[in-house]
Structure 1
Amino acid sequence: MKERFERHKQPWDSEEVQKLHGFAKKGMGLKAISKALTRSEESIKKRAKADKIKIAKQR
């Protein structure tokens, strides 16, 4: 069963954006970043695309 996040359509603050950039630089996968930031995978994908960040694909 998927974990459900209670936050819906919350704006990104600068601290979360910095964390996202840091996690992506470290090569963390989408699922791990999602748990760390308590945001949905879709939300992280959208923000990463907007900021032109590459998220590592876990194998």
Structure 2
Amino acid sequence: MVHEALARGWSMRYGPGMAERFERHKQPWTTDEVQKLHTLARKGMALKAIAKALTRSEESVKVRAKADGLKIAKKY
């Protein structure tokens, strides 16, 4: 039963759809990802949308953007 739930994207701790969100936890940023982050931020895309496009957490995107001196739109 637990295996079936996990196979459907459930995480025992976080609920539906959250298991895949942490697969890339603490993975280094690739050059392509950084370029895409810069492009999407320049276009004024919101944090949530950028995170989804990069399959990264919002926190990860926020930290990387700050390190690169980027401003992320506040709109959702």
Residue ranges of structure 1 left out of the alignment (5+ in a row): none
Partner in structure 2 of residue 14 of structure 1: 31
Output the amino acid matched with 2:67.
A
Distance 1:3 1:45, change over 3 A: farther
Distance 1:11 1:25, change over 3 A: same
The answer to whether the aligner puts 1:26 opposite 2:35 as a matched pair is: no
Q: What secondary structure is seen at the aligned counterpart in 2 of 1:35?
A: helix
Shift of 1:39: 0.1
Higher relative contact order (CA 8 A, sep 6+): 1
| CA distance in structure 2 between the aligned counterparts of 1:23 and 1:39, rounded to whole angstroms | 14
Q: Give identity over the alignment, percent.
A: 68
Matching of residues 1-59 of structure 1 within 5 Å: 3-4=17-18, 5=21, 6-58=23-75
Shift of 1:25: 0.5
Residue ranges of structure 2 left out of the alignment (5+ in a row): 1-14
Aligned residues: 59
Q: TM-score, structure 2 length as denominator?
A: 0.72
Structure 1 outlier segments of 4+, above 6 Å: none
Alignment RMSD: 1.6
